[in-house]
Structure 1
Amino acid sequence: MKKQKNHSKIYKIDGVGVNLERFYPCKAFEEKIALREKYGFSSYDFILIYTAEFIPRKNHKLLFDILPNLKQKIPELKVILCGKGELLEFYKEFAVQNKMDYIIFTGYTKDVADFCRLSDVLVMPSFQEGLPMAMIEAIATGLTVVASNIRGHCDVIEDCVNGFLFAAEDKQGFEKALLTLYKNPALRTEMGNRNIERAKTFSLENSLSEMQKIYSTIM
């Protein structure tokens, strides 16, 4: 009997879908200030956030390398690090030894959406990523991004349009981008608004709609 050929086709959708009912921007500046007060932050703080497991490929080291110099230039700097992992205790001890009391380690938390909403910039210096869902969740809250220029990140961020990309080991490029955003709140707002729209591409609603279209063509 002649073997029947199996003709397959690959379909592409934009990720598994982000829940925009959970990750959404503050409706007003006053809402952001209230969130900051709830979690013990000042309206004057310049807050960076990184939501990532503490493992080598997430490259927390680069962030810790630039923070002392960045803190000198930005006295009101605060850094929120969400996540757990094998390197968490190492970095917590490192922060204590180097008097980096402006770093907040949340560990595992269900308040990631709130922490994103009250922050100013998402940082993601990873060495390697797939489609970075943590990034997409963060931009849905209106954050702009400074991230390493790797596959995954550049699928979401266009350099100088809705964030800044830098080479994964470029300390100067990383710091320069953060200082640019610190000095230009209007640019942060502009990029953040673009990201709110960008995140809709990756929404759960959009993903389900795309899957429905695929199933309707093959069934």
Structure 2
Amino acid sequence: MVLASTFPAQRGDGTPEFVADLAGEEAQESDTLVVVPRVKGAPRSEQSNGFRVRRFAYFPRRWEDLADGAIIENLRNRKSRWLQVLPFFVAEALTTLKSVRSGKPDVIHAHWIVPQGIVAALVAPKTPRLVTTLGGDLYALNAAPVRMLKRWVLRGAARVTVMNADMRQRVIELGADPAAVEVLPMGADLSTVRPRKVHTDGRTRLLFVGRLVEKKGLGVLLDALRELSGVDWDLTVIGDGPLRETLESDAPDGVRFVGTKGREELREAYARADVAVFPSVPSSSGDQDGLPVALLEAMGSGCAIVASDIPGISEAIDHEANGLLVAPGDRGGLVQALRRLATSPEARSELGSAAATTARTRYSKEAIGERYRAIIREIVASARS
């Protein structure tokens, strides 16, 4: 059984699909049920990519939007959404309990410590748990009662996977068994990478992909572009979020906001881009990126990458070898990196080719999926013995 809170209503609708991709990989060896919250336009149950999906209702449909996107950011954006938190937790717990009793899963794979890890530990304490934290619930949500809950979940987990070495150290400090913790990010679907477009007009096409929230750092990039003089550039911003109106009103000429795009449109955007930029920064709440799947997809497409030097990203990007790293929030460093790539098609080509090789060999969903399947086999074997 897979528990998660981010899941597309329809494949390709623009919602991140890393949970669905991994569930498809896990379903190659396991009868897999995915339990997720209801979102607009989604059926309550369906069969998809070899696994079953069961969606639970948690609030009157007219106002039910806590799980539309990132829950933490949704709560920050509108305080009234806190009214949905307790009903969400109760509905997820009841649906999970019913599913455990009827299906008797060998393993529960909980994406995020909070709330899915808590739900799994509470309603199915005897079922072995694989807990995957992607960053937001680990870096943020650090009030004392929540830390106690996270410690309880991690100490009881059969295995824990994290996106980078820094996160591994953090979950160990919270009480996870070091031998049970593995750095294993989400995989990227590189099966439909498009051939790169060759531009000869002298313009550098920049691309940003991500939710428009503080930790993604788009504001830093927009400030840097104001100083990128003497370079012909344009920037396409793919994504949506609570900061869109503010960022769009503050953007310099040459920036185009196009909203959320599905997987096929993203593939075309990667193929057209010369440079993909991921200027991530730690947010005021302490939240920060683990290892964005969009970064891995851009690498796999052969884009030259400019990204922030933070844990996770710095484990995928080797500075000067398969991309360029700048200190988070360093506007001047970002200007220098962008200018260098804008004025050197050769550097863009070399770094992009190296990034594609890294993504294919280390971060494809097939490679990551095989490791997750192995972990599940190990958990089952250990439980049976």
Q: TM-score scaled to structure 1, two decimals?
A: 0.81
Query: How many residues of Structure 1 are paired with residues of Structure 2 in the alignment?
Result: 196
Aligned partner of 2:182 in structure 1 is 12
| Secondary structure class of the residue paired with 1:129 | coil
Aligned partner of 1:89 in structure 2 is 245
- On the 8 A contact 2:194/2:267 being kept in 1, the answer is no
TM-fit CA distance, 1:108: 1.0
- Partners in 1 of 2:295 and 2:201 — Cα distance? 24
- The residue correspondences of 1:57-68 to structure 2 (distance < 5 A) are 57-68=215-226
| Secondary structure class of the residue paired with 1:12 | strand
Instruction: Tell whether 2:350 aligns with 1:190.
Output: yes
Aligned partner of 1:124 in structure 2 is 278
Structure 1: state its 5+ residue gaps. 1-5, 37-41
| Secondary structure class of the residue paired with 2:355 | helix
1:145-202 per-residue CA deviation (whole Å, 9 max, x = no partner) reads 1111111210210111111111112221111111111122111111111111111211
Q: In structure 1, which of residues 124, 145, 150 is the aligned counterpart of residue 310 of structure 2?
A: 150
- Partners in 2 of 1:15 and 1:170 — Cα distance? 26
- Structure 1 counterpart of 2:238, one-letter code: C
- On the 8 A contact 2:217/2:329 being kept in 1, the answer is no
Task: Please say which structure displays the higher CA radius of gyration.
Answer: 2
- Structure 2 counterpart of 1:104, one-letter code: R
TM-fit CA distance, 1:7: 10
- On the 8 A contact 1:50/1:81 being kept in 2, the answer is yes
Structure 2: state its 5+ residue gaps. 1-155, 159-178, 282-287
- The residue correspondences of 1:1-219 to structure 2 (distance < 5 A) are 8=158, 9-10=179-180, 12=182, 14-22=184-192, 24-26=193-195, 32-33=197-198, 43-70=201-228, 72-74=229-231, 76-95=232-251, 100-110=252-262, 111-127=265-281, 128-200=288-360, 201-218=362-379, 219=381
- On the 8 A contact 2:300/2:355 being kept in 1, the answer is yes
- Structure 1 counterpart of 2:277, one-letter code: V
* Shift in alpha-carbon separation, 1:7–1:45, aligned structure 2, 3 A: closer
* Shift in alpha-carbon separation, 1:11–1:211, aligned structure 2, 3 A: farther
| Secondary structure class of the residue paired with 2:337 | helix
| Secondary structure class of the residue paired with 1:73 | coil
- Partners in 1 of 2:201 and 2:272 — Cα distance? 9
- Partners in 1 of 2:202 and 2:339 — Cα distance? 16
Identity %: 28
- Partners in 1 of 2:241 and 2:305 — Cα distance? 23
Alignment RMSD: 2.1
TM-fit CA distance, 1:215: 3.5
- Partners in 2 of 1:152 and 1:199 — Cα distance? 14
| Secondary structure class of the residue paired with 1:123 | strand
- On the 8 A contact 1:11/1:214 being kept in 2, the answer is no
